[in-house]
Amino acid sequence: MNNFARRETGEYVLEQEQEGQRIRWVALESDRIVAGYADPDNTGQAYALHHQVLELMPYMLGVSPLDIDSMDVSYTMDFDYQGNHDEVIAEALLSNSSFSSLFDIPEAKPVNCCPSIIVALSEDCRLQARVGVESRTSAFDVRGEKFKTDDPISLYFTVRRYPLPGPDFNTQAAYKEQCKIAENLMFEKVIPIS
């Protein structure tokens, strides 16, 4: 990573760019530290970056386990689709539900279908999973029947932990566990691979 910048918002970003796209980055925002790896060859590459950030943050940034309100492991996927994103999302996720009867109304068309759900993965609700789908189609696009070709449908999947307050929170162990949970849920429940 060789690009270091301070944004207008005050956040600091260290990133690697390849052909005009961010590949790896670490950002320091006012209330969080964010690290990401776009399109890695394997999950190990992304995990290594995040392990390094977790390892260095107490020493380089003065962040202790007491400072951590939550910790996320996220996957993001983009799907190219030229057409009404809301319509394809509604068909894929709602067609066999009671909500599908809304589309039986004459001239009814989905114009904002961005479902999101959070489930607790532990009895104390301190470990949670969130899946969300985001459309880039607007009502203006649907009305004019002109759809952008370069805006994807995005799927976000996050496993979040709210650690118990105290100095004993082991970020490395928690991160490793969250990665395992996220990978299993992503490939077994969210986008099952047959």
Taking residue 191's Cβ as centre, other Cβ atoms within 10 Å add up to 13
**How do the pLDDT tens digits run along the chain, 194 residues long?**
888 999 999 899 999 877 767 689 999 998 899 999 988 888 898 999 999 999 999 999 899 888 999 999 999 999 998 888 999 999 999 888 888 888 889 988 888 889 999 999 999 999 999 999 999 888 777 777 777 767 899 999 999 999 998 888 999 999 999 999 999 999 999 988 76
Q: Could you tell me how many helices (H) and strands (E) the chain has, helices first?
A: 4, 8
| Contacts of range 43-52, beta carbons closer than 8 Å, 24 or more positions apart | 43/179, 43/183, 47/179, 49/24, 50/175, 51/172, 51/175
